[in-house]
Structure 1
Amino acid sequence: MFFLRAAPWGAVCVFLAATVSASPYQGDPPALPPPPALQAALRALWSKSPQVQVAAAELRAAQARARAAAQPLYNPSVQLEAENADVDRRTAGASLSLDLFGKRRARMVESEAEVSARQAAYALERRDIAADWLKAWAGAVLAREQSELGKRRLALMGRFDELAAQRLKVGDISTSERDLAGLALGEAQIQQASLAGQEASSLAALATVGGDAEGALPGLPGVLPPSAASVVPLAASERPELLQAQADQDRAEAGVVVAQRARRPDPTISLTGGSVRSGTRSDRVIGINVAIPIPILNTGRAEIAAAQADADAAFASRRATTLRSDAVLKQTQVTYTALRDATVSFRQSRANAFDERAQTLEKLWQAGEIGTSDYLVQLKQSLDTALSGLALESQTWQAWFDYLAAAGRLTDWIDGPSKDISR
């Protein structure tokens, strides 16, 4: 894939470590910009993402419709007429319908609101793709580290099985204890196969988003992200999902105005000039004609009712989006704070000293101070704790990405503030 060939994974790790060690946000993204290689890689990811391409195409279509809406509503018509009979007639005329009720202006307002909605949708796609990529990366790192820990467990169980066979020969342990060692090795092999499958699934998820599943993944940065209090979320009205909802509402309300003005008929003015010849007499003629449609068969009221219903739906949708955005922001903040506090506590405890405990347990077992079953139970508990610690760190980083996305800060955190997201 393009990312790891254009910029090494180490650039990602350096970027994340530099970011979390920078000064906390003061309402704006950090002043320290990300490495240019990372910016280029993410822009390449966005440019190759089908979802972003769809959003970009829809934005271009909306901009084209806005340019079309700014054009005059009616084109002039030209008429030429000739008649040879008792009276010879030669006339030419032109006609033009006049936009007296502001139909063009109403269409322009509607199309401008659509452009705003498509711009917000484009920003949302970029944010979501970035969040998906970062979370998939954290998940792939977790799966790799869990698989590596599983390989260490498999090596320990293999060594334990060999030692148990040797001790059985000299009569230090019973046959049942020897069988326990063999069962533990078989269980470790089964669990390692499961971990390998999980690693393959996480790499496939990363490849789906756009990451390089074949490259070497760096570990998670040793420094945790900053606390949630250091991030100042954007105001609700400035978040991409609310911008899109508000633009959709504005577009629907403008559609009501368009429907109201469309039912008002515009007059068509025609101007005709020419000559009429009868026998030896020839006269010049000038005529003017005004035609106005009569809205009897189709009054346009149904279109207005439909547009008003769309506006009501857009208003309700914006309110629902506001409630959902605020709820997601609060939920992600609480989740991230809880996971980060738990990770800090885990790091400060002895729960993550797996290798040290494994060596101590083996020495105690070989010295006969603990039995085989006790050794296996304690080793399994130590391994489960170590695996849980890895999962906790990965979940903390994923919660950090979710919180930044909910706060409207993820794109700024990655790429810095952008004045023109359509570029």
Structure 2
Amino acid sequence: MKNNFFQSILTHTARPLSTLCISGLLILPFAQTALAAEMSKVSMSHSSQNENSNSSQWSKWVLTQVQSLPSIQAIETGTLVADEQRNASQQALYNPELGAFYTDNKDDEYGMILSQTIDWFDKRSANAQLGQVDYDLVMLDKVLQVEEKLSEALTAYIEYAMSEQLLAVSKDQEKLLTKLSNDLRLREAAGDVGQIDAEMAYLSLSQNLQQISLTEIRYRKARANLQQSLNSKALHYHPKTSIWVNEVPEAEIDSKVDSGLRVQLAKKQLEQSVSQSKIAQLNKKVNPTIGLGAGRDGNRNTVLLELSIPLNVRNTFSAEYSAALHRVNQTELELKEQQRLLKNNIEQSLINYKALKTRVLSWERLTGSRLKNTQKLLNKQWKSGDISTSDYLFALRQRTDTLIASIELNGEMHKAWVEWLLASSQVKKWLNSL
């Protein structure tokens, strides 16, 4: 039997190795069936998950978890502060003043006077307008921060799901190598294989242990990030994989730039600077104070009339007004910059997503037809002596690398979709639509 085994190795190595190129990896012919089997196993696992998954429940869970974060609750409280400040800006600028006077002369003179500063140029309306703009800014900033938190949560979910799958692949590889080591001990004792084959298996096993350690570290980091972003240590719901494959027309880019939250925020900041410049202009103008009172001058009743006007002589408030105008020019330029950056970000994120989606779909077409239930075929070929131990180990390594590449490629596509949603300010809208 030993002669037959080595004869099969010589026969196999004498044949030219046709290869299959998958994402830069060269898969041996006998490894293709094993790879297909493993991909089938992963695919069936995902199919089972999808059958038990509910995209609507998952999206509601993500929204609920993010809304429960203390940072989001703090933002909600901030809107209450902004609302009260808006109400305060709508109040009258000046309250009436009540005064009294007394003169100790031959004839006592005393009386009371009620005075009121007149908002002659309607500064109250300007303040109310600015208060409304400030409130709108807070509300826009709240929506933007929620979008960013949801984006962080989705990215954390994707990374956790990826690390979980990668850890499962590494552990499956460990089981295969452990079984291989045990089989080699028996075959070495029977004289079927040499010591070099056993040593190669042990080296592969030690290398895989290192890979598992690194994968476990990545998994723990992803779980910690998941807890930080979603306030959860586990995934209670899973969406269907189809939610990550979408069509986005190129014509939407310009409309997404105009409706983008950062551009809307910049426009509102421009509106705020314009309102502030109006108030700075009104501060250059003076408002008169009128007072009316009654009193006694000895035995006579007196009526008092008072008029006072501030004199903006030492400070004309021109510098403040000039600064406000410069601020308007500054915010106009900032708005143009935000439009430029957002358009570039939207275009780039869309290009990245479409390119990755094309790669993923090509990958599925390439491997989908090869997904057969031949999980044990590679092991049988090795045990029967159809392939050498070195080829067997190489096939296992290629299979693992291919599975890892598949998981990473899908994960990057999912992340690219989230980046597009964030750039186009559609994260919450997309989750609500599921």
TM-score (norm 2): 0.81
For each residue in 1:219-264, what CA deviation from the matched residue of structure 2 results, as whole angstroms up to 9, or x when unmatched?
A: 7636652223399565423222221111111101211111111121
Q: Is the 8 A contact 1:228 1:336 kept in 2?
A: no
Match of 2:300 among 280, 283, 292: 283
Q: Secondary structure at the match of 2:367?
A: coil
Please list every run of 5 or more consecutive structure 2 residues that lacks an aligned counterpart in the other structure. Answer: 1-48
State the alpha-carbon separation in 2 of the partners of residues 134 and 11 from structure 1: 21
Q: Secondary structure at the match of 2:147?
A: helix
Deviates more, 1:265-274 or 1:69-78: 265-274
For each residue in 1:107-161, what CA deviation from the matched residue of structure 2 results, as whole angstroms up to 9, or x when unmatched?
A: 1221211111111111111111112112211111111111111111000101111
Closer/same/farther in 2, CA of residues 331 and 357 from structure 1, 3 Å limit: farther
Closer/same/farther in 2, CA of residues 130 and 331 from structure 1, 3 Å limit: same
TM-superposed CA distance for 1:371, in Å, is 2.1
Q: Is the 8 A contact 1:352 1:385 kept in 2?
A: no
Which residue is equivalent to 1:6? none
Q: Which runs of structure 2 are paired with 1:261-300 in the superposition (5 Å)?
A: 261-277=282-298, 282-300=299-317
Which residue is equivalent to 1:148? 168
TM-superposed CA distance for 1:73, in Å, is 0.7
Q: Is the 8 A contact 1:365 1:372 kept in 2?
A: yes
Q: Secondary structure at the match of 1:117?
A: helix
For each residue in 1:167-198, what CA deviation from the matched residue of structure 2 results, as whole angstroms up to 9, or x when unmatched?
A: 22222222222110110111111211211111
Q: Is the 8 A contact 2:50 2:241 kept in 1?
A: no
Q: Secondary structure at the match of 2:232?
A: coil
TM-superposed CA distance for 1:303, in Å, is 1.5
Q: Name the aligned partner's letter for residue 54 of structure 2.
A: V
Q: Name the aligned partner's letter for residue 241 of structure 1.
A: R
In the alignment, is residue 240 of structure 1 matched against residue 261 of structure 2? Answer: yes
Which residue is equivalent to 1:18? none
Which residue is equivalent to 2:351? 334
TM-superposed CA distance for 1:383, in Å, is 0.8
Match of 2:222 among 179, 199, 202: 202
Closer/same/farther in 2, CA of residues 95 and 222 from structure 1, 3 Å limit: closer
State the alpha-carbon separation in 1 of the partners of residues 359 and 226 from structure 2: 26
Q: Which runs of structure 2 are paired with 1:2-401 in the superposition (5 Å)?
A: 13-15=53-55, 34=56, 38-39=59-60, 41-42=61-62, 44-214=64-234, 218=238, 221=241, 224-229=244-249, 232=252, 234-277=255-298, 282-350=299-367, 359-401=376-418
Tell me: higher relative CO, structure 1 or 2? Use CA pairs within 8 A at least 6 residues apart. Answer: 2
Please list every run of 5 or more consecutive structure 1 residues that lacks an aligned counterpart in the other structure. Answer: 1-8, 16-33, 418-423
State the alpha-carbon separation in 1 of the partners of residues 72 and 336 from structure 2: 26
Closer/same/farther in 2, CA of residues 372 and 43 from structure 1, 3 Å limit: closer
Q: Secondary structure at the match of 2:249?
A: helix
Deviates more, 1:265-274 or 1:218-227: 218-227
Q: Is the 8 A contact 2:163 2:218 kept in 1?
A: yes
Closer/same/farther in 2, CA of residues 398 and 269 from structure 1, 3 Å limit: same
Closer/same/farther in 2, CA of residues 222 and 299 from structure 1, 3 Å limit: closer
State the alpha-carbon separation in 1 of the partners of residues 181 and 433 from structure 2: 55
State the alpha-carbon separation in 2 of the partners of residues 358 and 12 from structure 1: 25
For each residue in 1:265-296, what CA deviation from the matched residue of structure 2 results, as whole angstroms up to 9, or x when unmatched?
A: 2111111222211xxxx222222221111112
Q: Name the aligned partner's letter for residue 268 of structure 2.
A: A
Which residue is equivalent to 1:22? none
Q: Is the 8 A contact 2:66 2:229 kept in 1?
A: no
Deviates more, 1:45-54 or 1:257-266: 45-54
TM-score (norm 1): 0.83
Q: Name the aligned partner's letter for residue 393 of structure 2.
A: L
Q: Name the aligned partner's letter for residue 298 of structure 1.
A: N
Q: Secondary structure at the match of 2:302?
A: strand
State the alpha-carbon separation in 1 of the partners of residues 169 and 345 from structure 2: 34
Q: Secondary structure at the match of 1:349?
A: helix
Q: Is the 8 A contact 2:63 2:150 kept in 1?
A: no
TM-superposed CA distance for 1:310, in Å, is 2.6
Identity, % of aligned positions: 18
State the alpha-carbon separation in 2 of the partners of residues 353 and 159 from structure 1: 25
Q: Secondary structure at the match of 2:326?
A: helix
State the alpha-carbon separation in 1 of the partners of residues 408 and 77 from structure 2: 39
State the alpha-carbon separation in 2 of the partners of residues 284 and 267 from structure 1: 27
Q: Secondary structure at the match of 2:92?
A: coil
Closer/same/farther in 2, CA of residues 209 and 91 from structure 1, 3 Å limit: same
Q: Name the aligned partner's letter for residue 361 of structure 1.
A: L
